[in-house]
Amino acid sequence: MKSTASHEIVIVGAGVVGLTTALKLAERGVVVTLLDRQQAGHEASWAGAGLLPPGDLTRAATPEARLRSYSHELWPAFASMLADRTGIDPGYHNCGAIEVASSETEHEFKEHVARWQAENIRLEHLTAAEIQRHVAEMDDRFTEAVYLPDFCQVRNPRYLQALRAACQQRGVEILEHVHALDISRKEDRISQVSLGDRTLPFDQICFTAGAWSAAVLEPLGCSIPVKPVRGQIVQLQLPTQPFRCVIELGRRYLVPRRDGLILIGSTEEDAGFAKHTTTQGVAGLLALATTLVPALAHAEVVRTWAGLRPGSPDELPLIGRVPGLSNAFIGAGHFRSGLQMSPATGTILADLMLGQAPAISLEGLQPNRFSQTTIDNGCPPVAESSAARR
């Protein structure tokens, strides 16, 4: 491996994973070129809600908990470094979250509470009166809830702007609207990356193309089981912030921003690459909001949008070397948690590409974990089941 000073890495896909990886590499002296076929940070990473659930590395016993907890540890310093360095406040703050139970979500609620407790995450069981103290206008049929004081949020579009600016300050070359990307493979290596009129020098390449990762890798003979899972969001506006904490019911939630905006999220749909909102999706989210907080029936609907989460069969990301390729890495498949897990993922990918041991075990996150057998080109087959103003 070359010395770090002359090390060159190309990253394909400038979502939150590509941007954090680029920044972490550039901070260590690597020459990074980050490519996107459109404007950086305008896909799933922009569309997300910015929920950052807590973690505790000392008690994290699963791959998901390890990555989440490692990120939880990195977030405060990472967010303030971005704000100091770029002057763009990513809106990271500790807002707390209430998880409420309903008859439909009772089972899920109990599972979540047991998981938080097993992980030693701070949690308070709330009485009906205490629920009302956190959210004065919560419907009084919700009488069972827990409060997670260490739950945080980030204003993801601003986070992405800050990441982009920090990358540029560190000398990352960000090439957007790249349409003539041509990547060639020779035996077990990526041999060439060209942009039509320009061939990029590189020692290693990293694929961070989110829900499009399978399509990017497929022409190179590599099958990875990442597919899009659509999520819709409705944004409301109120004159002031009506409650401070996130409210979760099952896998859906309300996220209050400090300026009175509220995000209602989100659907989980297998709709291919169709990235539009639907009548049913929006109606369901509005119904969720008014079920939880009836007064929201009078709030102004500002906008709606949808994004494509990169889903994997076990809902966990693939982080590491692309199976069958000795000079290529991947960071994809973060599904519902890519924003939360981005500081850890970027740090880990930078460690791996520089031959350093990451701070946590990557057991359960390896890109080759879905392969039953190795096919001719050394790549795993696709698993059967896988088929503004903000």
Degrees, nearest 5: CA angle 362-368-369: 70
Q: Any residues with CB less than 8 A from the CB of 155 and at least 6 apart, and which?
A: 50, 89, 90, 91, 92, 257, 390
Q: Is the distance from CB of 360 to CB of 343 less than 8 angstroms?
A: no
Residue placing its CB nearer to ligand FAD in the complex, 48 or 225: 48
36 binds ligand FAD (CB under 6 A): yes
Q: Is the distance from CB of 242 to CB of 267 less than 8 angstroms?
A: no
288 binds ligand FAD (CB under 6 A): no
Query: Which listed residue (33, 45, 86, 371) binds ligand FAD by CB under 6 A?
Result: 45
CA–CA gap between residue 270 and residue 274 (Å, rounded): 9
CA–CA gap between residue 358 and residue 32 (Å, rounded): 20
Residue count of the chain? 390
Residue placing its CB nearer to ligand FAD in the complex, 2 or 276: 276
Query: Which listed residue (9, 10, 11, 14) binds ligand FAD by CB under 6 A?
Result: 14
Interacting residues with ligand FAD between 336 and 355 (CB under 6 A): 336-340
CA–CA gap between residue 20 and residue 82 (Å, rounded): 11
Q: Any residues with CB less than 8 A from the CB of 193 and at least 6 apart, and which?
A: 10, 181, 182, 183, 184, 199, 200, 202, 205
| Contact mark string toward ligand FAD, 224..263, x via CB under 6 A | -------x-x------------------------------
Residue placing its CB nearer to ligand FAD in the complex, 135 or 209: 209
- Min. distance of Cβ 333 from ligand FAD in angstroms? 8
15 binds ligand FAD (CB under 6 A): yes
12 binds ligand FAD (CB under 6 A): yes
- Of the ranges 26-34, 57-65, 289-297, 334-342, which one interacts with ligand FAD (CB under 6 A)? 334-342
Query: Which listed residue (210, 225, 281, 343) binds ligand FAD by CB under 6 A?
Result: 210
- Min. distance of Cβ 373 from ligand FAD in angstroms? 27
Is 151 buried (19+), middle (13-18) or exposed (0-12) by CB count in 10 A? buried
Q: Which two tokens stand for residue 390?
A: 């903000």
Binding site for ligand FAD (CB under 6 A): 12-18, 35-38, 42-45, 47-51, 178, 181, 208-212, 216, 231, 233, 265-266, 307, 309-310, 332, 334-340
